[in-house]
Structure 1
């Protein structure tokens, strides 16, 4: 049987895990897409005939050059203006496949949604941990001063260690595995507390058990 001192040790480790989880739940800075350099943009704009102004003087040094220039100007006037529907979605750059261009924005959205989902799971784990610490401090700690219970501080130490390792990952498969382990570890901590309170005949344990069961239900709904 353990008293308030053992519970204070568990609370201290859970509070450390809570601090780490809050840092992991913070949103990542947005990734900026790579921008072409000024030199590349200027070079591309000067080499493409479409960027030439219709009134720009062009030196003609080969036979038939004037007629070719007139044809290019006519083609330029027939091009759709900015904001018009292209209709056929043909590639702007003949060397760039259309499907590849259309797939790239979709991939970026998929990654962003996945990150948002993981951050939501971490946020809910933060909420459950915060509520557990609050119940332990306000309800369970006063109860232990009268009725010592069986506690397991090692589970809280493991929970803190898992959260610390998860915060170092920030993303990827290892981050998701750590998140799952942290979820299971917190579930174990709550279940053991409920079992310890169930063996006590005191009516004062009922509000604590009820609060812990509510936290467990919300945690299992994640």
Structure 2
């Protein structure tokens, strides 16, 4: 059996994990936009027309010299127009799904991760609050079996996850953090079952609500 001191130790580790989670859940700082490149407008490398110097021979294009490219452009435009009028869809790009589908999948995945992180932060914050305001007074009357090692492991997982920020390892750490916090809450609920009076009922109800919100999809 453990008293208030053991619970305070657990709360301390959970509060440390909460601060780490809040920092990891903060949005990334925006990247500075790329600076536009400066182009020359004069000289041999300029984008504008280059005029010949006096006395310098310049090449003169005879009229009709660009007739063939112009006819090719007209023919290409005509073929595209006929394809649009016939309603023929553009051929699918080889090599896999289109870019917009990849972006959509990435966006949905990021939204799911943000939602999971948000639930983890909220559940941790609520758990610390319930332990401080409801569970701690009960332990002063009757000691309960506690497991501070779970809170230490939870803090360590959150610290490792904060170093990743993204990627597969981040997702694995996030999953492990969810499972660890779930275990902490479930063990507290089981410990309250041995309490001699009904005063534990509000605490167990609050813990079950936290667990339900944590596991919500």
Decide: shared fold, TM above 0.5.
yes
Q: Which runs of 5+ in 2 are unaligned?
A: 40-46, 48-58
Contact residue 11 and residue 136 of structure 1 kept, 8 A: yes
Q: Which residue of 2 aligns with 1:196?
A: 191
The TM-score with structure 2 as length reference comes to 0.74
Q: Partners in 2 of 1:35 and 1:215 — Cα distance?
A: 48
Aligned to 1:212: 207
CA apart distance, 1:179:
1.0
Partner of 1:68: 68
Distance (whole Å) between structure 2 residues aligned to residue 7 and residue 156 of structure 1: 10
Instruction: Return 5+ residue gaps in structure 1 as ranges.
Output: 40-45, 47-57, 92-96
Instruction: Say whether 1:173 aligns with 2:168.
Output: yes
**Matching residue of 1:108:** 103
Q: Deviations over 1:98-120 (max 9, x none)?
A: 45697123212322221121011
Q: With the length of structure 1 as denominator, give the TM-score of the two structures.
A: 0.72
The residue number in structure 1 matching 2:4 is 4
**How many residue pairs get matched?**
197
Rg comparison, structure with higher value: 2
Question: Are 1:19 and 2:10 matched, yes or no?
Answer: no
1-structure distance, mates of 2:96, 2:181: 44
Deviation of the 1:72 alpha carbon? 6.5
Deviation at 1:191, TM superposition (A): 1.2
Give RMSD over aligned pairs: 3.8
1:142-164 residue CA offsets vs partner (Å, 9 max, x unmatched) = 11111111111111010000011
Stretch moving more, 98-107 or 211-220: 98-107
